[in-house]
Amino acid sequence: MRTRGMGRAAIAVTVAGAAVLAGCTVQPADGDGKRRSPVHIEMPGDSPAPARSPAGGGGPGTAPAPPTDDKPSAAPAPARVLWSRGDTGRDVRELQARLRQVAWLFDGPTGTYDDATERAVSGFQGKRGLPRTGRTDTVTWQRLLGMTREPGRWDLYLMGGQPADPPDARCRTGRVLCIDKTSRTLRWMVDGRTVSTVAVRFGSQYTPTREGVFSVYWKSRDHVSTLYDSPMPYAMFFSGGQAVHYSADFAARGYAGASHGCVNVRDERAISELFAQVRNGDKVVVSW
């Protein structure tokens, strides 16, 4: 009887073990995609799992566990913002000039951090996996610096806005259109006082703007060039066919283009006001 009972027990253990090893259902996969047995089986030779120490210390003869700092680690500080919407100045011009180099901005530079600049910065940031804030922080600026070259003066002032150099001495008396080829500016001066200043563009090396002292001899509000068949609004002629006039091409392309010898103005409102003030016989000085 004892032997028979022990035999039934052995058979029961064997059947139970076979059921565990063979399995009867498909087990769901763990998060890593691998199927796991719901039962942990230690085979001979397996290393025993390390004993867990009770909270607050180890077993007899063991040193207490060192204290731990349960405070969460501090989040990294956000990058410092250098410029954002509404900022103005030379640094903003450089930012805009560099954004133009990588084709994220097509207008300006204007020197004002406007909506177009904010959109350009945001697009540049998103393309490079940076937070799309539209604000230029130190990380964004360093990334842009690494992709672009140092802008030259006429990259910064491609569309005008540059300061004028001191006027030529010949401009300090009377009524004068004082035109400076170095700073690319025109001062309208009366008795030594500057009334207004505008950016101007000149002829190319093949059709240069003549230098010297001249006078306005003819004004033509809606003039069209007979030589080039191009509009020359608000034309004030001072030397042969050369005149100070508004240029839509200058307004659109800035210093990327040149005239056929005339002095181009890109600000239509400014040239219309100037046209109304200048008289025939007023002096014109063109100098470097």
Catalytic site includes residue 245:
yes
Q: What is the pLDDT of residues 79-135, one digit of tens each?
A: 999 999 999 999 999 999 999 999 999 999 999 999 999 999 999 999 999 999 999
Distance (Å) of CA 195 to CA 27, 178, 192: 88, 11, 9
82: which DSSP letter?
Answer: E
Residue type, 219: K
Segments of the chain assigned to CATH 2.40.440.10: 169-287
**Higher-pLDDT residue of 175, 16:** 175
**Higher-pLDDT residue of 71, 42:** 71
Taking residues 54-65, report their average pLDDT.
Answer: 49
Whole-angstrom distance, CA of residue 193 vs CA of residue 187: 9
Helical segments of 148-244, H only: 153-156
Catalytic site includes residue 262:
yes
Taking residues 52-70, report their average pLDDT.
Answer: 51
Contact 250, 266 (CB under 8 A): yes
Q: With 90 as the cut, is the pLDDT of residue 17 above it?
A: no
Segments of the chain assigned to CATH 1.10.101.10: 81-156
Q: With 80 as the cut, is the pLDDT of residue 49 above it?
A: no
With respect to CATH, is domain 81-156 assigned 3.40.50.1580? no
Per-residue pLDDT at 123: 98
Q: What is the pLDDT of residues 235-276, one digit of tens each?
A: 999 999 999 999 999 999 999 999 999 999 999 999 999 999
Contact 174, 191 (CB under 8 A): yes
Q: What angle in degrees, to the nearest 10, is found between the helix axes of 138-147 and 115-127?
A: 80
Q: What is the pLDDT of residues 181-213, one digit of tens each?
A: 999 999 999 999 999 999 999 999 999 999 999
The fold for domain 169-287 equals L,D-transpeptidase catalytic domain-like (2.40.440)
Q: What is the pLDDT of residues 147-178, one digit of tens each?
A: 999 999 999 999 999 999 999 999 999 999 99
Catalytic residue among 24, 223, 245, 260: 245
Whole-angstrom distance, CA of residue 210 vs CA of residue 176: 16
Contact 262, 271 (CB under 8 A): no
